[in-house]
């Protein structure tokens, strides 16, 4: 600041410290970031607003009837009930099968497996699998669950579809759970071992409770993804049609294990292709239902996560 | 003046032996209550031989992979005393400490050779379950690491997994009292342990360690993350606890070792030609001797600050 | 005198150097006091008395630095024993200075009194014996030399014998009252000079403690045969 020998005075210090230096680069960058944020939000909001506007007449006219009606070639009667039920069933399947499998696999990889070349190979491949286009899993689902294991799954049922979707999301579940487990500080494990706990006791009472909120956040994202998948379902045998009537007196179990099915994204896909003008509005309405369902499923998972977060305190 | 001190020490040792016999009987019954494997039964005569000790290492060496971290350590820890392990960084004192409760098992590449006995039982024999070892030889870590649970749950955890279902409330109160923390937390037992100050958290960790009724407590630089007042309280606590437990403490604070310990072991590090650091036990003696007239020059150089 | 703002171990060495320097100064005072007594030089004696104040001042400053070091550095082991040796030796040196002053004081007190040659010779001999004792003790401290330290008590043997011989010599002066008074005062001087030798042995004891870690008093047996 001052050259050697110059006495340091208050004035000198003042002039060195004061005076806002205007940094052009900083301000420009901040401005650019803000603009990109607003433009992405703007696009999103515009899309949503447009969809809502298009869908509004359908709900104004038919209300909840739209949600409870079956598919039909007649636009005035067509509803999304099979799509809703199908999507919910598939998502439920993914959570019921994918969640335990993914978490268990991650626990094994992180806590039990030795750090050798084999483990590292598996971990690397899980990451690769997460990046595979989901349509490939559709082909896998068709070959494995529909054809090869057709005896068990009864072919093109929700079971096959659910298993296919599970395989799609399993790599992400494993990865996010692994990250969550890795984020648990080693000091917690040390403390647990220090008082004479076994590895499983340590995982069950300390590691998992701490990692659970993060795991559940990962689950939210996974579930959202599964909800919106269409390509693998297409290949695995979900229906894309207007003519779909499940047997009138089938029980719930039979519906799942014996009958054909569809999902909301596929309904949207189908209606978007219909030539009739009315189907434009119906498509928008279906999209709205899809979004509402998605938000509800997410909200439920987030609520669960928050409940576990406070529970782990005790 | 010096002669009187030696008489005091001799009388204390006799008293300690009597206490040791009683404690061994208590410990044996505790051990059977916890359902230990047979190999952990101590010598039936029940006397801890003062010439050897409660924990005896013979030519103990720890390798990480192919390189020795600490080698050829032979030492005997006496019951109801505080033994301090001091030395420059890399000298293997923490590694040595972790041998006593088999925490080195958690490091995949660590191998232990030589012999380490606890009440005469070889701690590293294949029949010995490390989980059981850690219930008898507890540990307190450098940075306080309470579980992110309530204060109550922190202390009850060790007992619960040991199969104790009854009397947990009393156990929690007893442990917190012994750790000089009860008065401060008795009204907030079900609040999170993370809300406590650093010094309180460390006392909680001490309470947690003694809740499993160990007879040895290992402390790895227990006060190094704490402010001076909290440090002093931990030291006071240690001197109080040694009446009931045997304490081995690793510390890089020599004044602390001088203040608090009965015996001090000085470890030093040797660097091999290819740059690997191996620790060795240089001198192990009464703390007074180490700090007024140590035998080895390297001990003298270290404690007077000429290196390290 | 040095500024004590040095690194710790240099600082310790500095304190030892100061004690040795003070010791040499005090020894010089003793030698000059003895010569003044023998040559009955009042001016020289007064000089010795004046020279004591600076010595006392140096001791005070040393004590201050000592306290500071103990508080701030908490020395242990060899450093702690060195601190102990420095403090004890500094005190012994101060006492040596005081003995030199009382010896010089005897010059003034005996102005005009007749002397006796054998008594004077004995006193001079005692001075010539105790001064090297002080030197040797100080060297042993400076060089941390145990053998040198152990040799100091042996040098004290002859001093004790000379002191005892003074009593017999006093008898030779009983003819003249003034000479008798002079002779009695000289015995006191001889005893004071003997104490200088004892202080030198104290310093040597401290050096032995410093180097061996064990404190052992050098007893009168050691004066004849040397300590084991």
Distance, in Å, from the CA atom of B147 to the CA atom of B124, rounded to the nearest integer, reads 28
Report the chain B residue with the minimal C-alpha distance to residue C82.
B292
Q: Average of pLDDT values for B156-162?
A: 91
CB contact under 8 A, B141 and A193: no
Compute the distance between CA of residue C122 and CA of residue C190 in angstroms, rounded to an integer.
Answer: 8
Asked if B303's CB is within 8 angstroms of C76's CB, the reply is yes
For residue A75, what pLDDT is reported? 76
B254 contacts C77? CB cut-off 8 A:
no
Averaged pLDDT for residues B20-34: 43
| Mean pLDDT estimate for chain A | 85
Sign of CA pseudo-dihedral A225, A228, A232, A233: positive
Q: How many angstroms separate the CA atoms of B215 and B31, rounded? A: 11
CB B54 within 8 A of CB B246: yes
pLDDT digits (tens, 9 = 90+) for C13-39: 999 999 999 999 999 999 999 999 999
- What is the least distance, in Å, from the CA of C219 to any CA of chain B? 19
Measured from the Cβ of residue A244, the count of other Cβ atoms closer than 10 Å reads 19
Q: Which residue has the higher pLDDT, A29 or C3?
A: A29
Percent of chain A scoring above 70 in pLDDT: 92
| Residue in chain C lying closest to B297 (CA) | C78
Give C9's contacts in chain B (Cβ within 8 Å). 304, 306
Distance CA A246, CA A244 (A): 6
CB-CB under 8 Å, B141 with A187:
yes
Helix (H) or strand (E) holding B136: helix B130-136
- Collapse the DSSP code of B216 into the 3-class scheme (helix H, G, I; strand E, B; otherwise coil) and give the result: strand
Residue of B nearest to A204 (CA): B161
| B151 and B196 Cβ atoms separated by less than 8 Å | yes
Distance CA A266, CA B225 (A): 59
| Beta-carbon separation of C77 and B300 below 8 A | yes
Give the model's pLDDT for residue A199: 94
Please tell me which residue of chain C has the smallest CA distance to B306: C9
SS3 content of chain B, % helix, strand, coil (to 5): 40, 25, 35
Q: Test C9 with B306 for CB contact under 8 angstroms.
A: yes
Model confidence at B4, in pLDDT bands (50, 70, 90)?
very low
Residue B31 banded pLDDT, cuts 50, 70, 90: very low
Nearest to B119 by CA among B214, B220, B225: B214
Name which of B301, B261, B296, B259 is nearest B281 in CA terms: B296
Question: CA C86 to CA C106: how far, in whole Å?
Answer: 31
- Residues near C156 by beta carbon (within 8 Å), at least 6 away in sequence: C133, C197, C198, C200, C201, C223
CATH topology of domain C8-225: Methane Monooxygenase Hydroxylase; Chain G, domain 1 (1.20.58)
pTM (two decimals): 0.79
CA distance A226 to C224: 103
Judge whether residue A210 has pLDDT over 50: yes
Residue A169 has pLDDT above 50, yes or no: yes
The arrangement of strands across the sheet holding B110-118 comes to: B121-122, B110-118, B55-64, B67-77, B277-286, B263-271, B82-86, B246-250, B216-220, B137-140
- Distance in angstroms (rounded) separating the CA atoms of residues C147 and C129: 19
Distance from CA of C81 to the nearest CA of B (A): 8
Report whether pLDDT(C193) > 90.
yes
- Asked if the model's pLDDT at residue B200 lies above 90, the reply is yes
Name chain B contacts of A188, Cβ cutoff 8 Å: 145, 147-148
Which pLDDT does position B24 carry in this prediction? 42
The DSSP code for A64 is T
A123 CA: distance to closest CA in chain B (Å): 19
B-chain residues near C216 (CB < 8 A):
none
Q: Quickly list DSSP for C188-202.
A: HHHHHHHHHHHHHHH
| Residues B103, A193: C-beta atoms closer than 8 Å | yes
With an 8 Å Cβ cutoff, is B305 touching chain C? yes
What is the spatial distance between Cα A292 and Cα C26, in angstroms, rounded to a whole number? 101
Enumerate the β-bridge partners of residue B277: B271
The answer to whether the CB atoms of A190 and B147 lie below 8 A apart is no
Backbone angles phi, psi at B190, to 5 degrees: -100, 10
User: What is the CATH architecture of B2-144+216-303?
Assistant: 3-Layer(aba) Sandwich (3.40)
Can you give the pLDDT at residue B282? Answer: 95
Q: How far is C-alpha B289 from the geometric centre of its chain's CA atoms?
A: 21
Cα–Cα distance list, C24 to A73, A194, B156, C30, C133 (Å): 121, 63, 71, 10, 11
Q: How many residues appear in chain A?
A: 314
Select from A46, A56, A83 the least CA-distant residue to A67: A83
Q: Nearest C-alpha of chain A: how many angstroms from B271?
A: 29
Report d(CA A198, CA B31) in Å as an integer.
18
pLDDT at A312 over 60: no
Which chains neighbour B (Cβ–Cβ under 8 Å, 3 or more pairs)? A, C
Given a cut of 50, whether residue C202 has pLDDT beyond it is yes
Among A115, A191, A196, whose Cβ lies nearest the Cβ of B147?
A: A191
Lowest mean pLDDT among A67-71, B211-215, B264-268: A67-71
Sign of CA dihedral B280, B285, B286, B287: negative
Q: Taking CA atoms, what residue in C is nearest to B255?
A: C74
Query: What sign does the dihedral B149-B151-B157-B163 (CA atoms) show?
Result: negative
CATH number belonging to the domain at A66-311, selected among 1.10.8.100, 3.40.50.150, 1.10.3860.10, 1.10.3720.10 = 1.10.3720.10
- Give the closest of A188, A192, A314 to B150, CB-based: A314
- Could you give the count of Cα atoms lying within 13 Å of A160 in the half-sphere of its Cβ? 33
Nearest residue on chain B to A191, alpha-carbon basis? B145
pLDDT tens digits, B219-254: 999 999 999 999 999 999 999 999 999 999 999 998
Domain boundaries, chain B: 2-144+216-303
pLDDT digits (tens, 9 = 90+) for A121-130: 999 999 999 8
What is the percentage of chain B residues whose pLDDT exceeds 90? 71
Residue B47 pLDDT greater than 60, yes or no: no
Return the closest-CA partner of residue C116 out of C176, C62, C160, C200.
C176
User: Helix, strand or coil for residue B290?
Assistant: helix
Spatial separation of the C-alpha atoms in residues C120 and C114, rounded to whole Å: 11
Name which of A254-268, A282-296, C84-98 the model is least confident about.
A254-268
Output the pLDDT for position A225: 85
What is the pLDDT averaged over residues A170-197?
94
pLDDT beyond 70 at A185: yes
* CB–CB contact A198 B131 (8 Å): yes
Touching subunits of A (3+ CB pairs, under 8 Å) are: B
C neighbours by CB contacts (3+ pairs under 8 Å): B
Identify the pLDDT of residue C129.
95
Q: What is the pLDDT of residue B43?
A: 32
Averaged over B70-84, what is the pLDDT?
95
Q: What's the mean pLDDT in A246-275?
A: 76
Q: How far does C144 lie from chain B, in Å, by closest CA? A: 16
Determine the residue of chain C that is closest to B299 in CA distance.
C77
Predicted local confidence at residue A260, as pLDDT: 80
Beta strands in B236-276 (DSSP E): 246-250, 263-271
The encoded tokens of residue C47 equal 């000089």
DSSP label of B150: B
Please name the residues between 256 and 295 in chain B that touch chain C, using a CB distance below 8 Å.
258, 290-294
Using CB atoms, pick whichever of B254, B255, B304 lies closest to residue C79. Answer: B304
Q: Which of the residue ranges B31-45, B58-72, C50-64 would you say has the lowest mean pLDDT? A: B31-45
Q: Do A197 and B131 touch (CB under 8 A)?
A: yes
User: Minimal CA–CA distance to A242: which of A58, A30, A80?
Assistant: A80
pLDDT above 60: residue B6 = no
Query: Which residues of chain C neighbour B294 with C-beta distances below 8 Å?
Result: 77
Per-residue pLDDT tens for C124-152? 999 999 999 999 999 999 999 999 999 99
- The number of residues making up chain B comes to 308
Residues A194, B157: C-beta atoms closer than 8 Å? no
C219, C208 Cβ separation under 8 angstroms: no
What residue spans define the domains of chain A?
A: 20-62, 66-311
- Ranges of beta strands (E only) in chain B are 55-64, 67-77, 82-86, 110-118, 121-122, 137-140, 216-220, 246-250, 263-271, 277-286
Which residues in chain B are contacts of C76 at CB distance < 8 A?
254, 258, 291-292, 303-304
Q: What is the ipTM of this complex?
A: 0.80
Higher pLDDT: A239 or A258? It is A239
Residue B264 contacts residue B290 (beta carbons within 8 Å): yes
Q: Do the chains contact at B141 and A191, CB–CB below 8 Å? A: yes
Q: Using the predicted structure, report yes or no on whether residue A241 has a pLDDT greater than 80.
A: no
What is the C-alpha R_g of chain A? Answer: 27
- Nearest-CA neighbor of C57 among C112, C31, C18? C18
Given a cut of 50, whether residue B20 has pLDDT beyond it is no
Min CA distance, A98 vs chain B (Å)? 28
Asked whether at least 3 C-beta pairs link A and B within 8 Å, the reply is yes
**Cα C186–C187–C188 angle (5° rounding)?**
90
For residue B175, give how far its alpha carbon lies from the nearest alpha carbon of chain A (Å).
14
- State the nearest Cα–Cα gap between C77 and chain B, in angstroms: 4
- The answer to whether the Cβ–Cβ distance between B103 and A194 falls below 8 Å is yes
Question: For residue range C153-178, what is the model confidence (pLDDT) as tens digits?
Answer: 999 889 989 999 998 888 888 888 88
CA distance B86 to B295: 15
Q: Which residues pair with B57 in a beta bridge?
A: B75, B116
Neighbouring-strand partners of residue B248: B83, B218
Q: Do chains C and B touch (3 or more CB pairs under 8 A)?
A: yes
Of B134, B141, B157, the CB nearest to A205: B157
Q: Which H or E run includes C103?
A: helix C77-109
Q: What is the pLDDT at residue B3? A: 40
3-class SS at B212? coil
Measured between beta carbons, the chain A residues lying within 8 angstroms of B138 are 194-195
Q: Does chain A touch chain C (at least 3 C-beta pairs within 8 Å)?
A: no
Q: Which residues pair with B117 in a beta bridge?
A: B56, B122
Q: What tokens appear for B15 in the block?
A: 């008293």
Task: Write the pLDDT tens digit of every residue in B271-284.
Answer: 887 788 899 999 99
């Amino acid at each position: 600041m001052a050259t050697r020998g110059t006495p340091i005075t208050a004035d000198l210090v003042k002039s060195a410290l004061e005076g806002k230096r205007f940094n052009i680069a900083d301000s420009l960058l901040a401005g650019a970031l803000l603009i990109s944020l607003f433009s992405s939000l703007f696009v999103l909001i515009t899309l949503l607003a447009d969809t809502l506007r298009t869908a509004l007449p359908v709900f104004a006219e038919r209300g909840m009837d739209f949600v409870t009606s079956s598919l039909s070639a007649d636009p005035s009667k067509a509803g999304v009930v099979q799509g809703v039920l199908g999507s919910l069933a598939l998502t439920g399947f993914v959570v019921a099968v994918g969640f335990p499998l993914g978490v268990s696999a991650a626990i094994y990889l992180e806590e039990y497996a030795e750090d050798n070349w084999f483990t590292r190979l598996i971990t690397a491949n899980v990451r690769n699998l997460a990046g595979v286009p989901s349509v490939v899993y559709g082909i896998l689902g068709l070959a494995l669950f529909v054809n090869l294991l057709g005896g068990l799954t009864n072919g093109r049922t929700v079971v096959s579809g659910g298993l296919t979707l599970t395989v799609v999301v399993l790599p992400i579940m494993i990865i996010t759970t692994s990250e969550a487990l890795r984020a648990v500080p080693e000091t917690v494990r040390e403390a647990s071992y220090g008082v004479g706990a076994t590895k499983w006791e340590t995982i069950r009472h300390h590691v998992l409770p701490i990692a659970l909120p993060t795991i559940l956040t990962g689950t939210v994202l996974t579930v959202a993804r599964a909800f919106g998948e269409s390509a693998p379902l297409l290949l695995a045998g979900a229906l894309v049609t207007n003519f779909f009537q499940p047997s009138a007196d089938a029980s719930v179990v039979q519906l799942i294990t014996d009958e054909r099915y569809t999902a909301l994204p596929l309904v949207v896909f189908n209606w978007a292709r219909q030539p009739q003008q009315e189907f434009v509005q119906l498509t928008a309405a279906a999209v709205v239902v899809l979004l509402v369902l998605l938000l509800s499923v997410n909200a439920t998972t987030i609520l669960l996560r928050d409940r576990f977060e406070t529970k782990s305190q005790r | 003046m010096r002669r009187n001190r030696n008489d005091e020490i001799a009388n204390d040792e006799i008293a300690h032996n009597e206490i040791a016999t009683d404690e061994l009987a208590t410990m044996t019954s505790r051990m059977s209550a916890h359902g230990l494997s047979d190999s952990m039964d101590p010598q039936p005569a029940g006397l801890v031989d003062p010439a050897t000790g409660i924990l005896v290492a013979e030519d103990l060496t720890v390798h990480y992979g192919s390189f020795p971290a600490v080698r050829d350590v032979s030492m005997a820890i006496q019951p109801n005393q505080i033994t301090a392990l001091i030395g420059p960084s890399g000298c293997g004192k923490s590694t040595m400490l972790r041998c006593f409760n088999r925490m080195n098992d958690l490091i995949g590449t660590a191998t232990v050779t030589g012999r380490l006995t606890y009440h005469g039982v070889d701690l590293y024999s294949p029949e010995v379950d490390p989980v059981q070892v850690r219930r008898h030889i507890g540990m307190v870590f450098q940075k306080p690491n309470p579980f992110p649970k309530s204060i109550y749950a922190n202390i009850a955890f060790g007992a619960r997994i040991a199969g104790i279902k009854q009397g947990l409330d009393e156990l929690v109160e007893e442990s917190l009292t012994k750790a000089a923390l009860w008065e401060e937390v008795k009204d907030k037992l079900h609040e999170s342990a993370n809300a406590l100050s650093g010094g309180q958290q460390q006392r909680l960790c001490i309470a947690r360690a003694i809740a499993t009724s160990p007879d040895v407590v290992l402390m790895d630089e227990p006060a190094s993350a704490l402010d001076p007042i909290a440090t002093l309280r931990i030291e006071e606590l240690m001197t109080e606890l040694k009446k009931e437990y045997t304490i081995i403490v690793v510390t890089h604070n020599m004044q602390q070792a001088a203040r608090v310990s009965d015996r001090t072991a000085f470890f030093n590090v040797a660097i091999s030609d290819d740059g690997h650091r191996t620790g060795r036990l240089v001198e192990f003696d009464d703390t007074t001797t180490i700090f007024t007239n140590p035998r080895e020059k390297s001990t003298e150089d270290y404690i007077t600050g000429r290196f390290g | 005198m040095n500024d004590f703002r040095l690194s710790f171990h240099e600082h310790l060495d500095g304190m030892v150097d100061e004690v040795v320097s003070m010791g040499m100064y005090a020894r010089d005072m003793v030698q000059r006091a003895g010569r003044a007594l023998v040559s009955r030089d009042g001016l020289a004696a007064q000089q010795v008395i004046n020279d004591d104040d600076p010595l006392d001042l140096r001791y005070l400053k040393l004590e201050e630095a000592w306290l500071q070091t103990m508080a701030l550095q908490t020395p242990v082991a060899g450093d702690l024993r060195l601190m102990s040796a420095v403090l004890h030796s500094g005190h012994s040196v101060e006492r040596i200075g005081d003995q030199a002053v009382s010896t010089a004081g005897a010059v003034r007190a005996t102005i005009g009194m007749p002397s006796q040659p054998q008594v004077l010779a004995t006193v001079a001999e005692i001075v010539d014996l105790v001064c090297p004792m002080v030197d040797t003790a100080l060297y042993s401290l400076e060089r941390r030399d145990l053998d040198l330290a152990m040799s100091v008590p042996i040098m004290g043997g002859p001093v004790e014998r000379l002191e005892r011989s003074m009593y017999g010599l006093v008898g030779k002066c009983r003819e003249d009252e003034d000479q008798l008074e002079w002779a009695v005062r000289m015995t006191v001087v001889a005893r004071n000079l003997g104490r200088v030798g004892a202080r030198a042995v104290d310093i040597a004891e401290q050096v032995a403690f410093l180097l061996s870690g064990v404190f052992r008093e050098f007893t009168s047996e050691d004066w004849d045969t040397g300590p084991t």
